[in-house]
Structure 1
């Protein structure tokens, strides 16, 4: 743009540097990423503009975004017509473009300023005293400005500058939080798409492999060695299918959805006994089940099995080797309580708060030889909560680590519907 006079060397250099920043692709992308260009006014930003006007006693405050072609007024207090209606200014008439190097524009008397007095918008806008602070994102890109304008000479105080800086920081906090939320949503969508595609693609070859193993077992039903191999392969394929289901369910839980259940009458004691019996093939002589009588309840038998399997196998993996793992089952009038207790290095107090979060692994688990995705405990909590119950944990050197699951004997109507 053309100034109305010759700029001094320093002012000219500033305009040239800012002009290069004006069309910088990464800066323009950062502005697009905010999603704020050409959007309606919002109270979150207008409130800060009003506050600046009140605290500094000025008639005009503006929050702007500055792209390659124009200055867009996102928020304001006292914006005159026709700008209140159009909410934009051609880039050649923009004064704010000269903050794109990150330097503010502050003046108590623009007509006497060697740079500002030649800018063509100073007179028409009645700009005399002004504070123009750049809106700088975490990557160092200037997105726009927050400014206040006084139509008369004014010596700005340190308090005035502090107020504007704090309010500018508040604007950037709002923008940055919105960007982070949007990034999280995008990552969630990508993760969900990836998980869905991965599990779909994995299930097809697994299904084919299971069918082939079943055919092989039928053809050689009279050969014990073949049957033993078929059983091992089938067990491994079943485990792979459970891992896929765990991944799907963990993704649903992280998205805030409930795990789907197939409710029916079942005996929790029988489910636990069968699950521990199968785990004993991998962890022999480790589990001690303490329960008496029938524990009939309305629940999803497969869901109950997955709860027990995850808690018991975790206790075997990360508890002290060779020590017994107690599995206790008790019943009251309205609920059944399962406890899985193991001895060994206690879980750190700070980790107890996040142990049920997806993909979280404790330091002891990370340092151990056992590998995992950190999905077991989040699945336990998700399955328990889908049943209307609670899952908690305590851990100390004296008492060991104890996971407690409390489940209602009868699912509520909401849970039945969601199941």
Structure 2
């Protein structure tokens, strides 16, 4: 429609009152992440593009909050506005776009009864004005994308269409940023939750181990005492595995050439042995976290067996053979396999090692020098 003084608006006249302060709309502004902290480069490029396409001296991408309009994107503003990148609403035409939720096209603001007293005319030089709303999918208007002339201008439907297209691009950018902010907040909450779970798991394992050790010290039966001590060792092993895996909680896989040396260093420390007590060679194989847990328990039992033999040095090797299968070798650990094969061991560790090896579809044999050699099909660790 054509308003007095050569001003044109699409749709009804803006409503009275201050819908600019509408609580739901202001909540949408906050959720967008604008204008609190914004990297303006992308929006400045859109403003420059609008100025070039429409041949205007000034173009703005504005976000309107309760008391001000902020230029998240701007081109052609004079100082001090270019540096301040905001004005109070006394200098805002865009608030009318927010209030109506519709495009606003003004040929000469000096002749429009709604705008002729607006301070943007004398201080920012706004005379011709064409703007479209920046609205979310649910209709919350965050601000406006506008083109400004310092003289009267008869805007065309093509001009308005160009602004509508650029506004859609701006809203797509705002949507991406909002989604990124939501994901970041969700990841932060998840990180806190994982940290809390880790703390509780560590405490629970420590308490369980202490109780088992206490029961073992007071047990009169040597067999029961041995089983309690072995159970305490297994709990300690799980705690070590958890501690090493916790640092990789966001990873889908873990490299064994990083994990196995760290696990063995922990085991050495639990036996009071320095790092010189181990010789470790691990291929740079990446493996899913759940597979690492099982493999870590197997390695821990074999290494613990070797340490109990008081070996001067325990060798641990994880390699890939010519067929692509994986081969785990632990020196001086044959006792664990011999007892399991003979059916003489009722210990938790040996039963667990045998069960996990079968789970992998692996085959365990002893080496001539008293070690254990476990071949695991490649597919079992993928």
Tell me whether the two structures share a fold, i.e. TM-score over 0.5.
yes
SS in 2 for 1:53: helix
Instruction: Answer with 89-98 or 264-273: which moved more.
Output: 264-273
Instruction: Report what 1:345 is aligned to.
Output: none
Q: How far is the alpha carbon of 1:207 from its aligned partner?
A: 0.9
**C-alpha contact (below 8 Å) 2:35/2:63 kept by paired residues:** yes
> Is 1:73 the equivalent of 2:85?
no
Gaps spanning 5+ residues in structure 2: where?
6-11, 266-278, 281-315, 319-327, 338-348, 369-373
Quote the offset at 1:210 in angstroms: 0.6
Distance 1:233 1:102 in 2: 71
1:79-120 residue CA offsets vs partner (Å, 9 max, x unmatched): 134433443222133221122256233325245987755563
Closer/same/farther in 2, CA of residues 37 and 163 from structure 1, 3 Å limit: same
1:167-316 matches, cutoff 5 A = 167-220=166-219, 222=221, 224=223, 228=227, 231=230, 235=234, 238-239=237-238, 242-243=241-242, 245-251=244-250, 261-262=261-262, 264-265=279-280, 266-268=316-318, 269-271=328-330, 278-281=352-355, 287-289=361-363
Cα gap change, 1:25 to 1:227, in 2 (>3 Å): farther
Q: Deviation at 1:175?
A: 2.6
Measure the CA separation in 2 of the matches of 1:32 and 1:60: 26
State the match for 2:16 in structure 1: 15
> Hey, what's the Cα distance between the residues in 2 that align with 1:290 and 1:225?
28
Offset, 1:58: 1.4
| Residue in structure 1 matched with residue 130 of structure 2 by the alignment | 131
Whole-angstrom distance in 2 between the partners of 1:133 and 1:276: 73
Listed one character per residue, the Cα deviations across residues 378-407 of structure 1 (whole Å, up to 9, x for unaligned) are xxxxxxxxxxxxxxxxxxxxxxxx73xxxx
Instruction: Considering fraction of residues, name the structure with more helix.
Output: 2
Cα distance in 2 between the residues matched to 1:249 and 1:141: 41
Any idea what SS the aligned residue of 1:28 has?
helix
Could you tell me how far apart the structure 2 residues matched to 1:220 and 1:104 are? 82
Rounded to whole Å, the distance in 2 between the matches of 1:47 and 1:109 is: 25
Residue 283 (structure 1) shift? 7.7
Q: Which runs of 5+ in 1 are unaligned?
A: 295-307, 309-325, 329-338, 342-401, 404-419
Residue of structure 2 equivalent to 1:152: 152
Do the aligned residues in 1 keep the contact of 2:128 with 2:148 (CA within 8 Å)? Answer: yes
Q: Which residue number in structure 2 is paired with residue 301 of structure 1?
A: none
What residue number does 2:376 align with? 327
TM-score with structure 2 setting the length: 0.60
TM-score normalized with structure 1 length:
0.55
What displacement does 1:149 show? 1.8
Q: How many pairs does the alignment contain?
A: 288
Gap change, CA 1:185 and 1:73, over 3 Å in 2 = same
Question: Compared with structure 1, are the counterparts of its residues 98 and 37 closer, same or farther at alpha carbon in structure 2 (3 Å cutoff)?
Answer: same
Q: Tell me, what secondary structure is at the counterpart of 2:248?
A: helix
Quote how far apart the aligned CAs of 1:173 are: 2.6
Task: State the shift of 1:62 in Å.
Answer: 0.9
Q: Which digits, 9 at most, give the CA deviation of each residue in 1:36-88, with x for residues without a partner?
A: 53768833221111111111111211112211111122322221344334432
Map Cα deviations across residues 7-41 of structure 1 (whole Å, 9 max, x no partner). Answer: xxx536x233xx13x22344334434555537688
Shift in alpha-carbon separation, 1:193–1:112, aligned structure 2, 3 A: closer
Q: Closer, same or farther in 2 for the Cα pair 1:145/1:207, shift >3 Å?
A: same
Q: Is the contact made by 1:63 and 1:147 (CA closer than 8 Å) also made in structure 2? A: yes
Question: Is the radius of gyration larger for structure 1 or structure 2?
Answer: 2
Q: Distance in 1 between matches of 2:78 and 2:249?
A: 54
